[in-house]
Amino acid sequence: MLTRIDHIGIACFDLDKTVEFYRATYGFEVFHSEVNEEQGVREAMLKINETSDGGASYLQLLEPTREDSTVAKWLAKNGEGVHHIAFGTADVDGDAADIKDKGVRVLYDEPRRGSMGSRITFLHPKDCHGVLTELVTSAPAEPSGH
């Protein structure tokens, strides 16, 4: 069951400049940043709020690290802007299978590693009214040390 909007992905040409815009304009700070070599992106997650299911909602800013990445190709075609919307779920495998059974194309046979150790898959935008849709199961929370 989808429980929340996990994040909205925004493709950008210059991650540092875009982070500064969101910081200066809205007061959003970087919660997490990383380079995802598999996806070919450098990203920053800006936490917007906590959610009732223990997760959070974020803006994910994405800058391509190579020209053959999906985000680089998307930027070349569309320019900067909203790239995808991601819904949080406790069971990315089960929800992807259920959605696939309803006739929606799932882009990965098996979920892949996403931001902050999450597990992700995408749904084809042509089956989702033009919206690239991501399903996300967050990584388990790390226990606090004593």
39 is catalytic: no
How far apart, in whole angstroms, are the C-alpha atoms of residue 27 and residue 36?
Answer: 25
Model confidence, pTM:
0.90
Is 84 one of the catalytic residues? yes
Choosing from 39, 63, 83, 134, the catalytic residue is 134
138 near 89, Cβ under 8 Å? no
Fold of 2-137: 2,3-Dihydroxybiphenyl 1,2-Dioxygenase; domain 1 (3.10.180)
> Structure tokens of 76?
């070349």
Stretch 62-72: mean pLDDT: 97
* Per-residue tokens: 59: 């803006």
Averaged pLDDT of the chain: 93
Rounded to whole angstroms, what are the CA distances from 38 to 35, 42, 75, 85? 9, 11, 18, 20
Span 35-52, pLDDT tens digits: 999 999 999 999 998 877
Domain boundaries, the chain: 2-137
Is residue 34 part of the annotated active site? The answer reads: no
Q: Which helix (H) or strand (E) holds 17?
A: helix 15-26
Amino acid identity, position 40: G
* 129 is a catalytic site residue: no
Residues 97-124 have pLDDT tens digits of: 999 999 999 999 999 999 999 999 999 9
Q: Which pair of tokens denotes residue 97?
A: 């299978």
